[in-house]
Amino acid sequence: MNRGARRGGSGPIGRAYGGGMSSIPAVPVFTAATAPGALPVLGHGLRLLRGPVGFLSSLHEHGDLVAVRLGPTTAQVPCHPALLAQVLEDDRLFDKGGVFYDRARDVAGNGLVTCPHRDHRRQRRLVQSAFRRPQLAHHAGAVRAEVDAAAADWRPGLVVDAFPLFYGIALRTLARTLYSTAIDAELATGVERAFDTVLNGLFRQMFLPAPVRRLPLPANLRYRRALAYLHAATRQLVAAHRSGEAGGDGDLLSALLAAADEDEGGAGGAGLSDAEVHDQVVTLLAAGTETVAATLTWTLWRLSLHPAAAEQVRAELDAVLPHGRAPRPEDLPRLAAVDRVVSETLRLHPPGWLFTRITTAPTELAGRPLPTGSTLVFSPAAVSRHPAAHRSPAVFDPDRWRPERVTPAARQGFLPFGTGARKCVGDLFARAECTLVLAALLSRWRLVPEPGADLRPVPLATVLRPRRLRLRLRLVER
């Protein structure tokens, strides 16, 4: 047993869904166990692939820290929210690493999400400076333009496929936010196709042994070609912005380059090189497309099952957006019901379903000795379903995010954007985008799921998303 589990610090926590480590409830003792049912050679890998969230969510029944076997590797899974908080608080001891980040670095290089602790503080400071209010306003304008374009030909009775719809909106919004008018239509289409191939292949590459990844199999060749195109296109865009050939007013790429240049001329800081800017751009593309699309898809499905929550949203939109006018950034504080629905969807369906950490020194967790190089695996979806985080954790209840109902344990178990020093730099952008897209569409349309939806997660997808959800369009009656 862990003698003297660490207690959380004290201090203010911002928004109701904030991810700070303050006011953490104390847990005096944690237990360690080993998951039963490992198969020869495969270990628990087959159970993980067949039902990742169900398998990982079940592990807390065995202990707070549970050892699982994934092929030849034994990984430790922190199941209790407070135990996972200890891990995520200390990003020096529990650094980013393991098979997930090894494959992710093939895509995003040494970007903000994938870089080790030694590089993170400097990168975070420079990249954070690009996420300021002018960029948020620019992003909101891009959201509005892409939603309007996607819905331009809609008519009552039309059936749309939810995830491809939202993936297209998210990717084109992010491209417009990153590059402004500097990217032409042909290049934008090429980047979209390449990134679709890369994201769909990332987890397959993660689970393939190295000798198989090197074989000239069709899937491997498609993945390599798409990755090469994506990197070449990004280098081209960075070089064009750096030279002034394709300046974008208010876009994120220009802000990243400006932040690097300002730091270069400041007191004692090296700016981002073109290679580093390239890695940040690819990181933002990876983190801001499928994640947003999956969240919007799950949100509409959840609203279709919960009429009371849907009615709260409709009433709020009628009040804030009379006659279905387009939402603006200044409307966001008044869209509290929409925000609560997004929070609850993110709690139950956080896009990232599996992350890894590597110990950089010998340590002990839940009384279990961990040597240097030990692999830890955690799932935000599993932690958010832990009974220590919420009452009735399986129930969809947006009102649990009303300020008066939010508890420190609930904040601690809410990890769709991570927490602490490694919290997602674009979390406010992502939340704003989800809220604005939902407000823009639901103020004018009802999107009703068609029969035959398949809500099983796509196997080996980068994010947890349903296999099929089709929506029939109906005009909002006024």
Binding-site residues for heme, in ranges, read 424
**Separation of alpha carbons 321 and 142, rounded Å:** 19
Instruction: Please check whether residue 441 is in contact with residue 447, taking contact to mean a CB–CB distance below 8 angstroms.
Output: yes
**Separation of alpha carbons 467 and 116, rounded Å:** 33
Give the DSSP letter string of 343-398. HHHHHHS-S---EEEEESS-EEETTEEE-TT-EEEE-HHHHHTSTTT-SSTTS--G
> DSSP code of 113?
T
Inter-axis angle of helices 185-207 and 274-287, nearest 10: 80
Report the binding-site residues. 424
Q: 10 Å Cβ neighbour count for 35? A: 20
> DSSP code of 43?
B
Give the tokens for residue 306: 């919960």
Specify the pairing of strand 32-34 against strand 65-70. parallel
> How far is the CA of 254 from the CAs of 121, 130, 334, 352, in angstroms?
21, 9, 31, 28
β-partners of residue 211 are none
CA-based nearest residue to 182, from 261, 244, 256, 255: 244
Give the tokens for residue 307: 């009429």
CA-based nearest residue to 431, from 16, 91, 152: 16
Residue with tokens 């292949």: 201
Which residues have C-beta within 8 Å of that of residue 243, sequence separation ≥ 6? Answer: none
> DSSP code of 449?
E
CA-based nearest residue to 3, from 390, 325, 365: 365
The full 3-state SS of 293-325, as one line of letters, equals HHHHHHHHHHHHHCHHHHHHHHHHHHHHCHHHC
Q: How far is Cα of residue 72 from the mean position of the Cα atoms in its chain?
A: 28
Which residues have C-beta within 8 Å of that of residue 418, sequence separation ≥ 6? Answer: 19, 88, 424
For residue 69, what is the enclosing H or E element? strand 65-70
